[in-house]
Structure 1
Amino acid sequence: MRDDDFRSEIREWLAANVTPELRGVGGPGREHEAFEGRLAFNRRLAAAGWTCLAWPQEYGGRGAPLARQVIFHEEYARAGAPARVDHIGETLVGPTLIAFGTPEQQRRFLPRIASVEDLWCQGYSEPGAGSDLAAVSTKARLDGDRWVLGGQKTWTSLAHVADWCFVLARTGGERHAGLSYLLVPMRQPGVTVRPIRQLTGTSEFNEVFFDDAYTERDLVVGEVGEGWRVAMGTLAFERGAATVGQQIGFQREWDAVAALARRTGADTDPLIRDRLTRAWIGLSVLRSHTLRALAGEPSPQDASVVKVLWSRWHRGLGELAMEVRGAAGTVARGEPYDLDEWQRLFLFSRADTIYGGSDEIQRNIIATRVLGLPKGTSR
């Protein structure tokens, strides 16, 4: 099949399956929207063979080359298809199990991820260990044939709907050397999920408390004490071809901000025009750099560069949208806290430079591992 035929196939499938009520719903800051409908859509997507394109065929994927992964995500975004609810499983846990998991773990979990039967969340950050993951204090002790966990995770996206969590926990030692990467069932008495209310008024992030929660002894990915290496592998997978689709969404947002500026007359301000132009150039640079990075082997360093570029760009677009809106942008359109799309963009994008690895940490990685500078010089 030629790439053009592949593009036509996915475009036709999306045209036939993306219904009006699902078009454009969900995503960062809007994960509460039409969740059940999006889950059902994801399962139809899986049944049609459109999930896990990048996975090797022997693990239930298509083994699609990068060009076709990019095509899929471009068409998915252009069709206004709903935000995926299975992305943590497909893009993070699945590739991690393929790279580091045992054959038994792969047989148990990969088919259920590919079919969207199990949803996953990520148990990394803690109140005292956000960007500094080596400071994780959640503990896991071996008790017979089980690991027993105690501790707290925070900023855990979609924990309230997840079936499983991959947890970085301390099983002995200090800092990096004492961490292990555990797969923990969420639906058990020892796990409590508490939502965190965001600036947007929604609650897609959560606190997760482990109070003698357990998981099976053999659900350690990699060796005991090798959790840091596995966790870094997961982060390298995090920013794959899906970021191209994300950028198509960014392009739509830029187009909408530019159209708003024309409607309101804000585009007559030379400063606004200059910022719109710079934002367009920045997005073009981001896309070019992302495609170049994706063409090579995945690495945390490249992922850090892409994260810094897109998070700062998107936060800046939210600020620009508020300037275009003017004074009206400071007033909610209804009670009790009914935000329009520009207010939601502005408020949620404040977190873009924090979640998924804060800007400061990403810049340190770039400075020390890419540029070879001494620690502490990235500022």
Structure 2
Amino acid sequence: MNFEWTDEQQAFRRKLVDFLAANLPEDWEEFSKHGPASPALTEFARGFCRKLAENGMLFPHWPKDIGGEGLGPWEQQILAEVMWEYGEPRGGQYMNVNWIGPTMLKYGTEGQKAKYLPQISAGEMLWCQGFSEPNSGSDLASLRTRAELEGDHYKVNGQKIWTSYAGLADTCFLLTRTSDDRKKGITILLVPMDTPGITVRQIPSLIGEGDIHEVFFDDVIVPVGQRFGEEGQAWEIIGYSLTNERLGIPRYHLAREALDRAVGILKAEGEFTRETVKAEAARCAALCEAARTAIYAIVQKRVDGGTVGPESSSARYATVQAERAVGEFVVEYVPEALAGQSAFLQMHHQRGIVAGIASGAAEIQLNIIASDVLQLPREPR
């Protein structure tokens, strides 16, 4: 099997790196250490994404007729790796690339595509994801935020929690309950965040500035035309969306860069001499490369026109293992890096904390692997 990049792919990676070198500020690592949801980075990202779009590097894998360059899944993966290696200067707009855009293309009405895709492809729109609730996180089918149909609009009441980017987002991709059927009773609404009745409260956390929020909906009026898909179609749609989201963030690449930097610090201090340290670094590197290989197999499946299924959970869990191992390595052997010595490692540590929670908890991925990949019987309830 050939794992080498083609000349064109290598040139594309160099083009991205050169663009970042020319367009990121000199103090970028310090500036970006608080994560892609920080107010400063979010504001920076709006201008930066417009520049990416103008240079054909925001959605290079999209068809040309909707603002892309007509490239393929490998270029999408290269784009993600480079952006996350540099601390994700796209801010929350990486979600547009990973799953908002693809989901809009597959399920949006012609009117919704005409309204949202130009703004997304121009780098001018930030979304948030209204999924989790106080008692409905991993068990998403138990959500209770209610949308009652009243003539030509829905009236929405309920609460979401752990909502990334909600404080600065333009629109919420909101899951609501429109009937009591556990899965078929869930419906998606596209809700502008400045709609009357929406209250956003930031949750202080260790994982970065402005990253997670509570969102309250009190008699929020949403026109029927803002429904995404049919009533009760949400479970199908979010299954497609989450498959893209789980694979969209190349955490294995960020983890490997963090590991290499940690090892660099140890070597510079003459501390990379003990065999136990070397062995642990090698174990971390192996986990990063195993996760990379699992992701790349799925990228190739997309290139070949295949449908990505539960194997995405296997790749996601491999990435979680890599992130956790590298995070523990840094804490064990270069803890001073997290106390101000390295802005990059501090950023990685904050991102790594949520690796096993965001995009579906690691335990949920293991359940999917057991039932859908290994075909094991479900635990009696």
TM-score by length of 2: 0.87
Question: Which position in structure 2 is the counterpart of 1:94?
Answer: 101
Matched residue SS, 1:58: helix
Tell me how far apart the structure 1 counterparts of residues 226 and 169 of structure 2 sit (CA, whole Å).
Answer: 17
Find 1:59's aligned residue among 66, 85, 91: 66
Asked if 2 retains the 8 angstrom alpha-carbon contact of 1:24 and 1:80, the reply is no
Asked if 2 retains the 8 angstrom alpha-carbon contact of 1:24 and 1:81, the reply is no
* Superposed displacement of residue 147, structure 1: 1.4
In 2 relative to 1, CA 107–45 (structure 1 residues): closer, same or farther, beyond 3 Å?
Answer: same
Residue 306 in structure 1 maps to residue 312 in structure 2: no
Question: Which position in structure 2 is the counterpart of 1:372?
Answer: 375
In 2 relative to 1, CA 79–132 (structure 1 residues): closer, same or farther, beyond 3 Å?
Answer: closer
Asked if 2 retains the 8 angstrom alpha-carbon contact of 1:232 and 1:300, the reply is no
Once the two structures are overlaid, the 10-residue window that deviates more, 344-353 or 186-195, is 344-353
Tell me how far apart the structure 2 counterparts of residues 356 and 71 of structure 1 sit (CA, whole Å).
Answer: 20
Question: Which position in structure 2 is the counterpart of 1:202?
Answer: 209
Asked if 2 retains the 8 angstrom alpha-carbon contact of 1:286 and 1:310, the reply is yes
Aligned residues, how many? 369
TM-score by length of 1: 0.88
Deviations 1:124-174 (A, max 9, x none): 111111011110100101122211111011111111110101111100122
Matched residue SS, 1:86: helix
Matched residue SS, 2:158: strand
Residue 363 in structure 1 maps to residue 366 in structure 2: yes
Residue 261 in structure 1 maps to residue 270 in structure 2: no
In 2 relative to 1, CA 178–28 (structure 1 residues): closer, same or farther, beyond 3 Å?
Answer: farther
In 2 relative to 1, CA 265–2 (structure 1 residues): closer, same or farther, beyond 3 Å?
Answer: closer
In 2 relative to 1, CA 272–131 (structure 1 residues): closer, same or farther, beyond 3 Å?
Answer: same
Deviations 1:221-275 (A, max 9, x none): 22111111111111122144x544x433222211111122224444333322211
Asked if 1 retains the 8 angstrom alpha-carbon contact of 2:33 and 2:87, the reply is no
Find 2:23's aligned residue among 14, 17, 21: 17
Residue 226 in structure 1 maps to residue 233 in structure 2: yes
Does 1 or 2 have the higher relative contact order (CA < 8 Å, sep 6+)? 2
Asked if 2 retains the 8 angstrom alpha-carbon contact of 1:11 and 1:75, the reply is yes
Residue 318 in structure 1 maps to residue 324 in structure 2: no
Matches within 5 A, 1:31-180: 31-32=37-38, 33-76=40-83, 82-180=89-187
Question: Which position in structure 2 is the counterpart of 1:181?
Answer: 188
Residue 280 in structure 1 maps to residue 285 in structure 2: yes
- Aligned amino acid, residue 367 of structure 1: A
- Aligned amino acid, residue 249 of structure 1: L
Once the two structures are overlaid, the 10-residue window that deviates more, 292-301 or 42-51, is 292-301
Tell me how far apart the structure 2 counterparts of residues 27 and 89 of structure 1 sit (CA, whole Å).
Answer: 22
Tell me how far apart the structure 1 counterparts of residues 35 and 242 of structure 2 sit (CA, whole Å).
Answer: 21
Tell me how far apart the structure 2 counterparts of residues 342 and 294 of structure 1 sit (CA, whole Å).
Answer: 28
Contiguous gaps of at least 5 residues in structure 1: none
* Superposed displacement of residue 205, structure 1: 0.6
Tell me how far apart the structure 2 counterparts of residues 99 and 161 of structure 1 sit (CA, whole Å).
Answer: 26
Once the two structures are overlaid, the 10-residue window that deviates more, 163-172 or 80-89, is 80-89
Question: Which position in structure 1 is the counterpart of 2:3?
Answer: none
In 2 relative to 1, CA 325–164 (structure 1 residues): closer, same or farther, beyond 3 Å?
Answer: same
Tell me how far apart the structure 1 counterparts of residues 187 and 34 of structure 2 sit (CA, whole Å).
Answer: 29
Tell me how far apart the structure 1 counterparts of residues 172 and 66 of structure 2 sit (CA, whole Å).
Answer: 20
Tell me how far apart the structure 2 counterparts of residues 257 and 266 of structure 1 sit (CA, whole Å).
Answer: 11
Residue 292 in structure 1 maps to residue 297 in structure 2: yes
Question: Which position in structure 1 is the counterpart of 2:4?
Answer: none
Find 1:213's aligned residue among 205, 214, 220: 220
Instruction: State the percentage of identical aligned residues.
Output: 32
